[in-house]
Amino acid sequence: MGLPESEVMGLARYWESLPRLAPDAKAVLVVSAHWETKVPTMMTAPAPPMLYDYYGFPPASYEITWPAPGAPELAPRVKELLATAGFEAAEDRERGYDHGTFIPLKRAYPEPTLPTLQLSMLKDLDPARHLALGRALEPLRDEGVFIVGSGLSYHNMRGFQRASSRPASVAFDDWLKAAVTAEPGERSRRLTAWLDAPHAREVHPREEHLLPLMVAAGAAGDDPGSIGYNDEIMGVRVSGVHFGAA
């Protein structure tokens, strides 16, 4: 399933713009849609390997490298913040960067020098718990950590490249824009109740690609949300959301 070149370049340019959101970042903490565990788990290898967690792609797809250093020194601080919020946390020194991390961040940071800590989502897929997880991490933003939620605002593999999918994607995207740009309390309420959004289950048959946004929204605190990217990919409307930055 290939993307037209115009869509590829539009998305790539967006990823390339991400460092401007946190120009003084000392580290990146990324929550990818492609890692779920019972408790929040940090990837703590000093030099994480690559995890090619996909199949059926051209051979070059399995030769991608992004040798960014890990950030094991950040793990104790994350664990401390999570414990204060009532979350047990774990570490995984074997896991590598999955494609939810290395695909966008390879474009954002082609010189892979910024220490990067990947944090798992929770298997329960509870939106309120993921918002709470983000709220626990909010202090990191003032400590030089750029928090990135990597997912996709539309994720129905059967819906891509079907003309009948576009109206549902637009309706959900309009709801998402209104939700993330609402004042913080209302934002959390709407995101928690995301299943009330129009065409929610049609757009997200399973919500793992939406939940990284919940973590980022929780970490935003009282900062406003804005739409940093809005385009059509494979016939559906998608958005990228920023918090605290234009």
Task: Express each pLDDT in 223-233 by its tens digit.
Answer: 999 999 999 99
Task: Express each pLDDT in 46-63 by its tens digit.
Answer: 999 999 999 898 999 999
Domain that holds residue 118: 5-243
Q: How confident is the model at residue 7 (pLDDT cuts 50, 70, 90)?
A: confident
Domains identified in the chain, total number: 1
Q: For residue 61, what is the domain's CATH number?
A: 3.40.830.10
pLDDT for res 4: 64
Q: How confident is the model at residue 9 (pLDDT cuts 50, 70, 90)?
A: confident
pLDDT for res 51: 97
**Average pLDDT score over residue span 99-107:** 97
**Average pLDDT score over residue span 94-113:** 97
Q: What is the pTM of this model?
A: 0.95
pLDDT for res 8: 79
- Is the confidence at residue 235, as pLDDT, over 90? yes
Q: How confident is the model at residue 45 (pLDDT cuts 50, 70, 90)?
A: very high
Name which of 103, 89, 105 is nearest 29 in CA terms: 105
**Average pLDDT score over residue span 144-167:** 97
